[in-house]
Amino acid sequence: MDDYPLLNIFLTTMWFFIWILWFMLLFRVFADLFRDDSVSGWGKAGWSIFVILLPFLGVFVYLIARGKGMGMRETARVQQAEQEFRGYVQEAAGESKKPSTAQELAHLAELRRSGDISEEEYQRAKALVLS
């Protein structure tokens, strides 16, 4: 234990986590690059070569040049995933199949207008819908 003091252990641990963070950032850049449809195939190839040959400089230049769009694309992707999830939950719960009160009242008014139901039947059905 005397050969490796506590400060060296701390510094080694810090460099280890910085290295992990670097790889996470590198993977984020590649994921953003290949998810973005606004970049052509040649553009993706160019960015990939730049990031592979000069990884530190390439990632920093990518973040400077496209960092704001990277955040906006991630936000849009998360919002779309949330909307899809909410739609799935509503569909599974059966909420999307049940018409709203306004839709039911409009349907009843249309039936009354066409003569399919009388005024008395309309008023009873309307009372049921509103209760």
pLDDT(125) > 80: yes
Question: pTM to 2 decimals?
Answer: 0.55
How many domains does one find in the chain?
2
Q: Looking at the structure, do residues 93 and 103 belong to the same domain, yes or no?
A: no
Residue 80 resides in a domain: yes
> Could you tell me if residue 1 is inside a domain?
no
Q: What is residue 116's three-state secondary structure? A: coil
Confidence of residue 118 (pLDDT cuts 50, 70, 90): confident
Q: Are residues 33 and 83 in the same domain?
A: yes
Burial 4-22 (b: 16+ CB within 10 A, else e): eeeeeeeeeeeeeeeeeee
Domain range enclosing 110:
99-131
Considering the domain architecture, whether residues 86 and 29 belong to the same structural domain is answered as yes
Check pLDDT > 80 for residue 115: yes
Dihedral sign of CA atoms 52, 40, 27, 8 in order: positive
Q: 101 to each of 9, 31, 63, 91, 105, how far by Cα in Å?
A: 67, 45, 50, 18, 6
Q: Are residues 123 and 91 in the same domain?
A: no
Asked if 87 and 107 sit in the same domain, the reply is: no
